[in-house]
Chains A and B, each alone.
Chain A
């Protein structure tokens, strides 16, 4: 097998194992934790002083699809159901199926996360290069410490502070939602403008949480690359600073940070869940919050599964692109 084929095969095998692990975790958690969802829900009601007749448990069990069949039968059933897109019924949005609830929310996430991820990658890499170039200078120490100290504060708290300042005190931005309620989603310029206006604060807060990672990563690669011979050569040849920065340092420092894309994606997805709650943004994170508030177990688990698969597949694609641009990776695979 050539390097590229075996690289592809290896990555595909990893993807399959990862999806299988995610599926199995999703299957195992409700069964490992004390009490199944039906009993958990009943005990929650009991704590609030609501008492149900005994047959309620059976009703809840059939709602959650809990069976008393042998565990391997349940596992097989679960795998078949999930892989055919049958994620159960949500009871927050009853009678909608979990899949249809998720499908409705996902476009908003793509709109929000897509913009935030691209901006954070571009801006973080650029700043990282700049800071790495003038390492230990004023810009370096100030930016590095600003981002490490910012990371110490709860991210949702910072987001709420921004919302309070810009939407309640100064009323510059809307307090929530993805677009003005008097406009229907369509392909008009008016709707697009409203979308951008509503996305500004959420995207800005997502940048705050994810920019630092890219910046530090690129900075560290850039600092290592600065001592390479080609940098010395470029300097000796009297190249302009801008050319050195972009074509010599930049080209060699951007690639390695792509390998950390998976971790950054995980961070930004976690951040997005909290952002959407703070800004009442109608994406999957907001739906997850509603599901948590209503003990909607089918929806919680369906969302975990969909988020995980999307993250895994995105990583897979990035890995493939990376293998395509950087032949060194496929050569050693």
Chain B
């Protein structure tokens, strides 16, 4: 699959729905600060949803809709930034550990991946985050990247290990192409769909992890975000007070981002996996046979 292949995902319904949701969310993130009332403006406490406050107000009297819409900025920023960094680091580690498997450096990197893979991620993240004092989201992104790269690195490494023994790679090697050329023109292009999928799941994972961290009271709970909404809702026992309109929306929004990315990934599968394509064709063929048999 080549670069333009990612846009092929738009040819499937799942891909279009996924990209549609994602674009809408990005638009909300960009526009909301100029449109909705300030999330810091207090109204009455726990006002249920009404025409004036579409999603009601929270314990502090803040407008829940403002928080939900403006909160999208943090989640999307964390997701895409961490997703990209996780993908880049995982790929670099995997190329060294996989393609240069037999060198000392390769073996060392392989061992590093194996060791970091088994160290439990969330406890490690909690330790790192407990030392972050600022209310900025960037140190948290950094910490999430640190704990998230090993698993995708392992997946990419095993792909590279099988790829490097395929005929077309061996042929290029026989022709005297340098390692750099082979990685650039043989290995990486064959990995595009997996790299893209690593990016999608890295993004979902980062958004979920950041929300979990804030739910634990770490990583800046005064930031306007979905995670801090859930932290305060839990802290002020929103559900015990029956204020479901404070608790439900942030979780649904996080899920919506995740569902959009999963849909894009599923459409990617459909586009690149020839077996699924064949299955679709054979289903169609069967339908045609049926209609013929019926007539």
Residues on A facing B (Cβ under 8 Å): 14, 17-18, 21-22, 25-26, 29-30, 33-35, 37, 40, 43-44, 136, 145, 148-149, 151-158, 160-161, 163-164, 168, 262-263, 265-266, 269-270, 273-274, 277, 288-289, 292-293, 295, 297, 300-301, 303-304, 307-308, 311-312, 315
Please report which residues of chain B, range 198-232, place their CB below 8 angstroms from some CB of chain A when the two chains form the complex.
Answer: 204, 208, 211-212, 215-218, 230
Q: Does A289 contact B216, Cβ atoms closer than 8 Å?
A: yes
Q: Does A21 contact B239, Cβ atoms closer than 8 Å?
A: no
Those 10 A-B pairs whose CB atoms lie nearest each other, nearest first: A152-B258, A270-B122, A157-B251, A33-B131, A153-B255, A164-B239, A304-B127, A266-B120, A304-B123, A262-B118
Give 1 or 0 for each of B94-119: 1 = CB within 8 Å of chain A CB: 00000000000000000100111111
> Could you say which residues of chain B place their CB within 8 Å of the CB of A161?
251
- Count residues of B near A (Cβ-Cβ below 8 Å): 45
Q: How many A-B Cβ pairs are below 8 Å?
A: 138
Enumerate 20 A-B pairs (CB-CB under 8 Å) in ascending A order: A17-B115, A25-B124, A153-B251, A156-B212, A157-B230, A157-B250, A158-B251, A160-B234, A160-B247, A263-B151, A266-B118, A266-B120, A266-B121, A269-B120, A270-B123, A288-B123, A292-B126, A300-B126, A304-B127, A308-B120
Give 1 or 0 for each of B225-261: 1 = CB within 8 Å of chain A CB: 0000010001000011000100100110011011101
Q: How far is the CA of A122 from the CA of B278 in the complex (A)?
A: 33
> Cβ of B133 < 8 Å from any Cβ of A?
yes
A290 smallest CB distance to B (angstroms): 11
A269 smallest CB distance to B (angstroms): 5
One of B111, B211, B240, B266 near A168 (C-beta < 8 A): B240
Q: How far is the CA of A161 from the CA of B255 in the complex (A)?
A: 14
Q: Does A293 contact B118, Cβ atoms closer than 8 Å?
A: no
Q: Does A149 contact B120, Cβ atoms closer than 8 Å?
A: no
Q: How far is the CA of A17 from the CA of B255 in the complex (A)?
A: 38
> Cβ of B45 < 8 Å from any Cβ of A?
no
Q: List 13 additional A-B contacts (Cβ < 8 Å) besides A21-B116, A156-B212.
A: A14-B115, A40-B131, A152-B204, A157-B250, A266-B118, A266-B119, A269-B122, A270-B123, A288-B126, A292-B130, A304-B123, A307-B120, A308-B120
A143 smallest CB distance to B (angstroms): 14
Q: Does A157 contact B239, Cβ atoms closer than 8 Å?
A: no
> Could you say which residues of chain B place their CB within 8 Å of the CB of A292?
126, 130, 216-218
Q: Which residue of A lies closest to B252 (CB)?
A: A153
> Could you say which residues of chain A place their CB within 8 Å of the CB of B261?
152
One of A40, A157, A304 near B124 (C-beta < 8 A): A304
> Could you say which residues of chain A place their CB within 8 Å of the CB of B251?
153-154, 157-158, 161
With contact pairs A44-B133, A292-B216, A300-B130 given, residues A153 and B122 touching in the complex (Cβ less than 8 Å): no
Q: Does B122 contact A312, Cβ atoms closer than 8 Å?
A: no
Q: Does B115 contact A21, Cβ atoms closer than 8 Å?
A: yes
> Could you say which residues of chain B place their CB within 8 Å of the CB of A30?
131
> Could you say which residues of chain A place their CB within 8 Å of the CB of B212?
154-156, 274
One of B115, B215, B218 near A274 (C-beta < 8 A): B215
Q: How far is the CA of A136 from the CA of B124 in the complex (A)?
A: 38
Q: How far is the CA of A64 from the CA of B88 in the complex (A)?
A: 37
Q: How far is the CA of A21 from the CA of B259 in the complex (A)?
A: 36
Q: Does B254 contact A154, Cβ atoms closer than 8 Å?
A: yes
Q: Does B122 contact A155, Cβ atoms closer than 8 Å?
A: no
Q: How far is the CA of A303 from the CA of B122 in the complex (A)?
A: 12
Q: Does A29 contact B127, Cβ atoms closer than 8 Å?
A: yes
Q: How far is the CA of A74 from the CA of B124 in the complex (A)?
A: 21
One of A29, A307, A312 near B131 (C-beta < 8 A): A29
One of A148, A154, A269 near B208 (C-beta < 8 A): A154
Q: Does B215 contact A18, Cβ atoms closer than 8 Å?
A: no
> Cβ of B279 < 8 Å from any Cβ of A?
yes
Q: Which residue of A lies closest to B247 (CB)?
A: A160
> Could you say which residues of chain A place their CB within 8 Å of the CB of B126?
273, 288, 292, 300, 304
Q: Which residue of B lies closest to A271 (CB)?
A: B122
Q: Does B254 contact A157, Cβ atoms closer than 8 Å?
A: yes
> Could you say which residues of chain B place their CB within 8 Å of the CB of A152?
204, 254-255, 257-259, 261-262
Q: Does B119 contact A18, Cβ atoms closer than 8 Å?
A: yes
Q: Does A297 contact B121, Cβ atoms closer than 8 Å?
A: no
B259 smallest CB distance to A (angstroms): 5
B27 smallest CB distance to A (angstroms): 20
Q: Does B111 contact A153, Cβ atoms closer than 8 Å?
A: no
> Cβ of B81 < 8 Å from any Cβ of A?
no
Q: How far is the CA of A316 from the CA of B3 in the complex (A)?
A: 41
Q: Does B123 contact A153, Cβ atoms closer than 8 Å?
A: no
> Cβ of B132 < 8 Å from any Cβ of A?
yes
Q: How far is the CA of A158 from the CA of B121 in the complex (A)?
A: 21
> Could you say which residues of chain B place their CB within 8 Å of the CB of A17?
111, 115
A74 smallest CB distance to B (angstroms): 17
Q: How far is the CA of A247 from the CA of B72 in the complex (A)?
A: 50
With contact pairs A168-B240, A263-B151, A274-B212 given, residues A151 and B258 touching in the complex (Cβ less than 8 Å): yes
> Cβ of B26 < 8 Å from any Cβ of A?
no
> Cβ of B128 < 8 Å from any Cβ of A?
yes
Q: How far is the CA of A153 from the CA of B118 in the complex (A)?
A: 24
> Could you say which residues of chain A place their CB within 8 Å of the CB of B266?
145, 148
